[in-house]
Chain A
Amino acid sequence: MPRLTRWFVKTALVYLVAALSVWIVEAAQTVLNLPLVIATLQPTYLHLFTVGWITQMIFGVAYWMFPRASRVRPRGSETLAAAVYGLINMGLVLRVIAELFRALRPGLVPDWLLTASALLQSLAGVCFVISIWGRVKEK
Protein backbone atom coordinates (compact mmCIF):
# COMPACT_ATOMS: atom_id res chain seq x y z
CA MET A 1 0.00 0.00 0.00
CA PRO A 2 1.60 3.35 -1.03
CA ARG A 3 2.39 5.95 1.63
CA LEU A 4 -0.21 8.41 0.36
CA THR A 5 -2.94 5.74 0.51
CA ARG A 6 -2.02 5.05 4.13
CA TRP A 7 -2.48 8.75 4.85
CA PHE A 8 -5.84 8.86 3.07
CA VAL A 9 -7.16 5.72 4.78
CA LYS A 10 -5.95 6.60 8.29
CA THR A 11 -7.34 10.13 8.01
CA ALA A 12 -10.63 8.68 6.71
CA LEU A 13 -10.81 6.45 9.79
CA VAL A 14 -10.28 9.47 12.05
CA TYR A 15 -13.16 11.26 10.29
CA LEU A 16 -15.37 8.19 10.70
CA VAL A 17 -14.83 8.21 14.46
CA ALA A 18 -15.27 12.00 14.58
CA ALA A 19 -18.48 11.90 12.53
CA LEU A 20 -20.08 9.23 14.68
CA SER A 21 -19.00 11.05 17.85
CA VAL A 22 -20.69 14.23 16.62
CA TRP A 23 -23.73 12.07 15.83
CA ILE A 24 -23.82 10.88 19.47
CA VAL A 25 -23.68 14.48 20.70
CA GLU A 26 -26.47 15.40 18.28
CA ALA A 27 -28.62 12.51 19.51
CA ALA A 28 -27.84 13.41 23.14
CA GLN A 29 -29.09 16.96 22.58
CA THR A 30 -32.77 16.10 23.05
CA VAL A 31 -32.17 13.38 25.67
CA LEU A 32 -29.90 15.44 27.93
CA ASN A 33 -31.49 18.79 27.09
CA LEU A 34 -28.21 20.16 25.73
CA PRO A 35 -28.07 23.59 24.05
CA LEU A 36 -30.20 23.76 20.88
CA VAL A 37 -27.21 25.05 18.94
CA ILE A 38 -25.92 21.45 18.78
CA ALA A 39 -28.69 20.62 16.31
CA THR A 40 -27.05 22.99 13.84
CA LEU A 41 -24.09 20.62 13.68
CA GLN A 42 -26.00 18.27 11.37
CA PRO A 43 -24.44 19.49 8.09
CA THR A 44 -21.03 19.24 9.72
CA TYR A 45 -21.70 15.66 10.77
CA LEU A 46 -22.96 14.73 7.31
CA HIS A 47 -19.88 16.17 5.61
CA LEU A 48 -17.45 14.62 8.07
CA PHE A 49 -19.05 11.30 7.11
CA THR A 50 -19.54 11.71 3.35
CA VAL A 51 -16.44 13.77 2.48
CA GLY A 52 -14.03 12.90 5.30
CA TRP A 53 -14.82 9.19 5.49
CA ILE A 54 -16.45 7.90 2.27
CA THR A 55 -14.88 10.16 -0.36
CA GLN A 56 -11.43 10.21 1.24
CA MET A 57 -11.44 6.40 1.56
CA ILE A 58 -12.36 6.15 -2.15
CA PHE A 59 -9.57 8.58 -3.09
CA GLY A 60 -7.00 6.56 -1.13
CA VAL A 61 -8.05 3.14 -2.41
CA ALA A 62 -8.41 4.35 -6.02
CA TYR A 63 -4.88 5.83 -5.89
CA TRP A 64 -3.64 2.43 -4.75
CA MET A 65 -5.73 -0.04 -6.78
CA PHE A 66 -6.57 1.56 -10.14
CA PRO A 67 -4.66 0.40 -13.25
CA ARG A 68 -1.14 1.78 -13.62
CA ALA A 69 -0.69 5.04 -15.49
CA SER A 70 2.69 3.97 -16.92
CA ARG A 71 5.68 1.80 -16.07
CA VAL A 72 7.77 4.79 -15.05
CA ARG A 73 5.07 6.50 -12.96
CA PRO A 74 2.57 3.77 -12.09
CA ARG A 75 0.34 6.04 -10.02
CA GLY A 76 0.71 9.20 -12.08
CA SER A 77 1.73 12.44 -10.40
CA GLU A 78 2.37 11.89 -6.69
CA THR A 79 2.51 15.65 -6.19
CA LEU A 80 -1.00 16.07 -7.58
CA ALA A 81 -2.32 13.23 -5.40
CA ALA A 82 -0.63 14.78 -2.34
CA ALA A 83 -2.26 18.11 -3.27
CA VAL A 84 -5.65 16.34 -3.30
CA TYR A 85 -4.96 15.06 0.23
CA GLY A 86 -3.96 18.51 1.46
CA LEU A 87 -6.78 20.39 -0.23
CA ILE A 88 -9.62 18.09 0.84
CA ASN A 89 -8.50 18.01 4.45
CA MET A 90 -7.75 21.73 4.72
CA GLY A 91 -11.14 22.44 3.16
CA LEU A 92 -13.03 20.11 5.46
CA VAL A 93 -11.27 21.20 8.67
CA LEU A 94 -11.83 24.83 7.71
CA ARG A 95 -15.52 24.08 7.21
CA VAL A 96 -15.84 22.39 10.60
CA ILE A 97 -14.15 25.34 12.34
CA ALA A 98 -16.21 27.93 10.44
CA GLU A 99 -19.55 26.12 10.99
CA LEU A 100 -18.77 25.60 14.68
CA PHE A 101 -17.96 29.26 15.27
CA ARG A 102 -20.92 30.45 13.18
CA ALA A 103 -23.18 28.39 15.45
CA LEU A 104 -21.53 29.24 18.79
CA ARG A 105 -20.17 32.76 18.28
CA PRO A 106 -21.69 34.33 15.15
CA GLY A 107 -19.50 37.06 13.73
CA LEU A 108 -16.33 35.87 15.45
CA VAL A 109 -14.89 34.22 12.36
CA PRO A 110 -15.15 35.88 8.94
CA ASP A 111 -17.61 34.49 6.36
CA TRP A 112 -14.87 34.06 3.79
CA LEU A 113 -13.63 31.02 5.76
CA LEU A 114 -16.63 29.06 4.44
CA THR A 115 -15.99 30.36 0.93
CA ALA A 116 -12.33 29.33 1.20
CA SER A 117 -13.42 25.91 2.43
CA ALA A 118 -15.75 25.57 -0.57
CA LEU A 119 -12.99 26.48 -3.01
CA LEU A 120 -10.43 24.14 -1.42
CA GLN A 121 -12.79 21.15 -1.48
CA SER A 122 -13.96 21.69 -5.04
CA LEU A 123 -10.35 22.15 -6.14
CA ALA A 124 -9.53 18.83 -4.44
CA GLY A 125 -12.28 17.18 -6.49
CA VAL A 126 -10.96 18.62 -9.75
CA CYS A 127 -7.35 17.64 -8.91
CA PHE A 128 -8.44 14.10 -8.03
CA VAL A 129 -10.27 13.69 -11.33
CA ILE A 130 -7.24 15.04 -13.26
CA SER A 131 -4.91 12.67 -11.38
CA ILE A 132 -7.02 9.52 -11.82
CA TRP A 133 -8.73 10.03 -15.22
CA GLY A 134 -5.85 8.56 -17.25
CA ARG A 135 -5.80 5.45 -15.07
CA VAL A 136 -9.43 4.60 -15.87
CA LYS A 137 -8.65 2.59 -18.97
CA GLU A 138 -9.48 -0.70 -20.64
CA LYS A 139 -6.99 -3.51 -20.30
Chain B
Amino acid sequence: MPRLSCWFIRAALIYLIAGFSLGALLLVQKASPIHPALWRLLPAHVEFLLFGWVAQLTMGVAYWILPRFRPAPVRGKQGLAWLAFGLLNTGVMLAAMAPVITAPPLVTLLGRSAEAGAALAFALHAWPRVKSTEVTLRRTT
Protein backbone atom coordinates (compact mmCIF):
# COMPACT_ATOMS: atom_id res chain seq x y z
CA MET B 1 0.00 0.00 0.00
CA PRO B 2 1.54 3.38 -0.98
CA ARG B 3 2.27 6.04 1.65
CA LEU B 4 -0.52 8.39 0.51
CA SER B 5 -3.10 5.58 0.77
CA CYS B 6 -1.96 4.99 4.36
CA TRP B 7 -2.53 8.67 5.10
CA PHE B 8 -5.95 8.70 3.44
CA ILE B 9 -7.09 5.49 5.15
CA ARG B 10 -5.76 6.33 8.61
CA ALA B 11 -7.39 9.76 8.44
CA ALA B 12 -10.63 8.05 7.33
CA LEU B 13 -10.45 5.69 10.34
CA ILE B 14 -10.01 8.64 12.71
CA TYR B 15 -13.06 10.31 11.14
CA LEU B 16 -14.99 7.04 11.52
CA ILE B 17 -14.42 7.06 15.29
CA ALA B 18 -15.13 10.80 15.53
CA GLY B 19 -18.30 10.55 13.41
CA PHE B 20 -19.63 7.47 15.22
CA SER B 21 -18.94 9.10 18.61
CA LEU B 22 -20.84 12.25 17.62
CA GLY B 23 -23.66 10.06 16.27
CA ALA B 24 -23.79 8.14 19.54
CA LEU B 25 -23.93 11.40 21.49
CA LEU B 26 -26.81 12.64 19.32
CA LEU B 27 -28.69 9.36 19.73
CA VAL B 28 -28.32 9.61 23.51
CA GLN B 29 -29.51 13.22 23.25
CA LYS B 30 -32.56 11.98 21.33
CA ALA B 31 -33.33 9.32 23.97
CA SER B 32 -32.76 11.43 27.06
CA PRO B 33 -32.04 15.08 26.22
CA ILE B 34 -28.84 16.44 27.73
CA HIS B 35 -28.65 19.93 26.16
CA PRO B 36 -30.39 21.32 23.03
CA ALA B 37 -27.09 22.85 21.85
CA LEU B 38 -25.83 19.34 21.16
CA TRP B 39 -27.93 19.30 17.97
CA ARG B 40 -25.38 21.74 16.53
CA LEU B 41 -23.10 18.70 16.24
CA LEU B 42 -25.36 17.10 13.60
CA PRO B 43 -23.64 18.73 10.56
CA ALA B 44 -20.25 17.64 11.94
CA HIS B 45 -21.56 14.06 12.33
CA VAL B 46 -22.70 14.03 8.69
CA GLU B 47 -19.55 15.76 7.40
CA PHE B 48 -17.17 13.44 9.27
CA LEU B 49 -18.88 10.28 8.06
CA LEU B 50 -19.79 11.16 4.46
CA PHE B 51 -16.63 13.01 3.45
CA GLY B 52 -14.10 12.27 6.20
CA TRP B 53 -14.85 8.54 6.32
CA VAL B 54 -16.53 7.25 3.14
CA ALA B 55 -15.15 9.66 0.49
CA GLN B 56 -11.66 9.68 2.02
CA LEU B 57 -11.46 5.89 2.34
CA THR B 58 -12.62 5.55 -1.27
CA MET B 59 -9.89 7.93 -2.47
CA GLY B 60 -7.25 6.08 -0.44
CA VAL B 61 -8.20 2.67 -1.79
CA ALA B 62 -8.57 4.00 -5.36
CA TYR B 63 -5.10 5.57 -5.20
CA TRP B 64 -3.72 2.20 -4.10
CA ILE B 65 -5.63 -0.10 -6.41
CA LEU B 66 -6.32 1.66 -9.74
CA PRO B 67 -4.17 0.48 -12.68
CA ARG B 68 -0.62 1.81 -12.67
CA PHE B 69 1.72 3.08 -15.40
CA ARG B 70 5.01 1.72 -16.69
CA PRO B 71 7.56 3.31 -16.60
CA ALA B 72 7.50 5.39 -13.40
CA PRO B 73 5.85 7.41 -11.97
CA VAL B 74 3.61 4.37 -11.62
CA ARG B 75 0.70 6.27 -10.07
CA GLY B 76 0.79 9.25 -12.43
CA LYS B 77 0.39 12.78 -11.10
CA GLN B 78 0.87 12.12 -7.38
CA GLY B 79 0.92 15.83 -6.57
CA LEU B 80 -2.76 16.09 -7.46
CA ALA B 81 -3.63 13.22 -5.11
CA TRP B 82 -1.67 14.83 -2.26
CA LEU B 83 -3.47 18.09 -3.00
CA ALA B 84 -6.79 16.22 -2.78
CA PHE B 85 -5.79 14.82 0.61
CA GLY B 86 -4.91 18.28 1.95
CA LEU B 87 -7.99 20.00 0.54
CA LEU B 88 -10.39 17.28 1.66
CA ASN B 89 -9.24 17.33 5.27
CA THR B 90 -9.14 21.12 5.42
CA GLY B 91 -12.63 21.22 3.90
CA VAL B 92 -14.11 18.64 6.24
CA MET B 93 -12.76 20.40 9.31
CA LEU B 94 -13.97 23.85 8.18
CA ALA B 95 -17.43 22.66 7.10
CA ALA B 96 -17.88 20.53 10.23
CA MET B 97 -16.67 23.07 12.76
CA ALA B 98 -18.41 26.17 11.33
CA PRO B 99 -21.88 25.37 12.76
CA VAL B 100 -20.40 24.17 16.07
CA ILE B 101 -18.55 27.43 16.77
CA THR B 102 -21.27 29.50 15.00
CA ALA B 103 -18.72 30.83 12.53
CA PRO B 104 -19.85 33.16 9.70
CA PRO B 105 -21.32 31.39 6.61
CA LEU B 106 -18.13 32.24 4.71
CA VAL B 107 -16.30 29.52 6.68
CA THR B 108 -18.79 26.88 5.52
CA LEU B 109 -18.43 28.18 1.95
CA LEU B 110 -14.63 27.88 2.20
CA GLY B 111 -14.99 24.34 3.57
CA ARG B 112 -17.33 23.25 0.81
CA SER B 113 -15.04 24.86 -1.81
CA ALA B 114 -12.05 22.97 -0.41
CA GLU B 115 -14.03 19.69 -0.58
CA ALA B 116 -15.05 20.39 -4.18
CA GLY B 117 -11.41 21.26 -4.97
CA ALA B 118 -10.36 17.93 -3.47
CA ALA B 119 -12.89 16.11 -5.65
CA LEU B 120 -11.59 17.89 -8.78
CA ALA B 121 -7.93 17.26 -7.91
CA PHE B 122 -8.58 13.58 -7.24
CA ALA B 123 -10.65 13.17 -10.41
CA LEU B 124 -7.83 14.74 -12.47
CA HIS B 125 -5.35 12.37 -10.82
CA ALA B 126 -7.47 9.24 -11.24
CA TRP B 127 -8.91 9.86 -14.73
CA PRO B 128 -5.89 8.60 -16.76
CA ARG B 129 -5.56 5.56 -14.45
CA VAL B 130 -9.06 4.34 -15.33
CA LYS B 131 -7.87 2.27 -18.28
CA SER B 132 -7.95 -1.25 -19.60
CA THR B 133 -5.21 -3.50 -18.22
CA GLU B 134 -5.95 -6.07 -20.94
CA VAL B 135 -4.30 -3.84 -23.55
CA THR B 136 -1.16 -3.61 -21.43
CA LEU B 137 -1.11 -7.39 -20.99
CA ARG B 138 -1.50 -8.06 -24.71
CA ARG B 139 1.34 -5.64 -25.50
CA THR B 140 3.71 -7.32 -23.09
CA THR B 141 3.00 -10.88 -24.26
A residues touching B (Cβ–Cβ < 8 Å)?
Answer: 50, 54-55, 58, 66-67, 95, 98, 111-115, 117-119, 121-122, 124-126, 128-129, 132-133, 136-139
A58 vs B50: C-alpha distance when bound (angstroms): 13
* Of A54, A98, A133, the contact of B54 (CB 8 Å cutoff): A54
Residues on A with C-beta less than 8 A from B17 are: 122, 125-126, 129
Does B57 have its Cβ within 8 Å of any Cβ on chain A? yes
A3 vs B17: C-alpha distance when bound (angstroms): 25
Residues on A with C-beta less than 8 A from B67 are: none
Interface of B is mostly: helix
Q: Nearest Cβ in chain B — how far from A110, in angstroms? A: 9
A119 vs B28: C-alpha distance when bound (angstroms): 9
Q: Report yes or no: A136 in contact with B31, Cβ–Cβ below 8 A.
A: no
Q: Sorted from nearest, which 5 A-B pairs have the closest CB atoms?
A: A125-B20, A114-B31, A118-B24, A118-B27, A122-B24
Residues on B with C-beta less than 8 A from A121 are: 20, 23-24
How many interface residues does chain B have, given as a range?
Answer: 20 to 34
Does B87 have its Cβ within 8 Å of any Cβ on chain A? no
Does B30 have its Cβ within 8 Å of any Cβ on chain A? yes
Q: Report yes or no: A50 in contact with B16, Cβ–Cβ below 8 A.
A: no
A50 vs B16: C-alpha distance when bound (angstroms): 12
Residues on A with C-beta less than 8 A from B13 are: 128-129, 132-133, 136
Q: Report yes or no: A95 in contact with B27, Cβ–Cβ below 8 A.
A: yes
Does B49 have its Cβ within 8 Å of any Cβ on chain A? yes
